[in-house]
A and B are shown apart, each in its own frame.
Chain A
Amino acid sequence: MRDNIDDLNTIENQLGSGAININDIRQAVVSREFEKHRGDKALLLIFQFPFLIIGEILDVVSDYLLIKAEVTNVTELDDEEFRVHIDDIEVFYIEKKGKPRIPDIRNGRHA
């Protein structure tokens, strides 16, 4: 809870008081979510090519997410470090402790 209020405060600071726009806040909160989980694994669905990216969150730079891909829809792009425009992420999941793991599809068979 503390985190959250801090977040809102910092976001407000960043955006400048008096010009708070709910759309900006919503986007910033999503960016912050990725920022908070550097080093964790994430699954992203984006409308644009290559549609699916699963990989480790390396960093967030302004509204771009730096992610080390492990798997995408396109085999040749596995292992790329993508800079993904966070505002283009349609659906995501960040693997957290105690929450379901993102399946690894690279090695064929899984339980």
Chain B
Amino acid sequence: MKEKEIDILPENELFYELLDQEILLVMNSKQLSILGQTFRPIFTGKVVEVTNGFITLNPVIIKMHNAPFYKFPTPLSFPMEHISLFTPFDPNRRIPLI
């Protein structure tokens, strides 16, 4: 493991272990909405930042059910306390979303 740029608490090691890797991430709300387009909070992307409170994916794909490979124009950060699960993941895999 490369040297930590920041001081990551042991409790957050499991996030740090996936820095620079592609993951699938699911947040805990039922659905989110951007301008009326609703989607389950399922994301894939490369972990580019891990802090003691949130992680950031870039580039990040929002797995919208009608556009499952939608690359969001900015990176997105995810508060750890709202993350339900994550796993290393090939972002090109096609998975059912319903």
Residues of A within 8 A of B (CB): 1, 4-5, 8, 22-23, 25-30, 32-33, 43, 45, 47, 51-52, 73, 87, 89-95, 99-103, 105
Of the residues B12, B75, B79, contact of A93 by C-beta under 8 Å: B75
Nearest Cβ on chain B to A14's Cβ, whole angstroms: 14
A25 and B75 contact, Cβ closer than 8 Å, known pairs A1-B7, A8-B7, A90-B41: no
Residues of A within 8 A of B41 (CB): 90-91
Among the listed stretches B16-24, B25-33, B87-95, which one makes contact with chain A, having 4 or more residues with CB under 8 Å of it? Answer: B25-33
Residues of A within 8 A of B29 (CB): 47, 90
Nearest Cβ on chain A to B13's Cβ, whole angstroms: 11
A52 and B77 contact, Cβ closer than 8 Å, known pairs A28-B53, A47-B29: no
Tell me what chain A mostly uses at the interface: helix, strand, loop, or mixed. Answer: mixed
Interchain CB contact under 8 A, B81 and A26: yes
B67 CB-CB contact with A under 8 Å: no
Interchain CB contact under 8 A, A51 and B76: no
Can you list 15 A-B pairs, Cβ within 8 angstroms, ordered by A? Answer: A4-B7, A4-B51, A22-B12, A26-B53, A30-B53, A33-B54, A45-B33, A47-B32, A87-B81, A91-B76, A91-B78, A93-B76, A100-B74, A100-B75, A103-B73
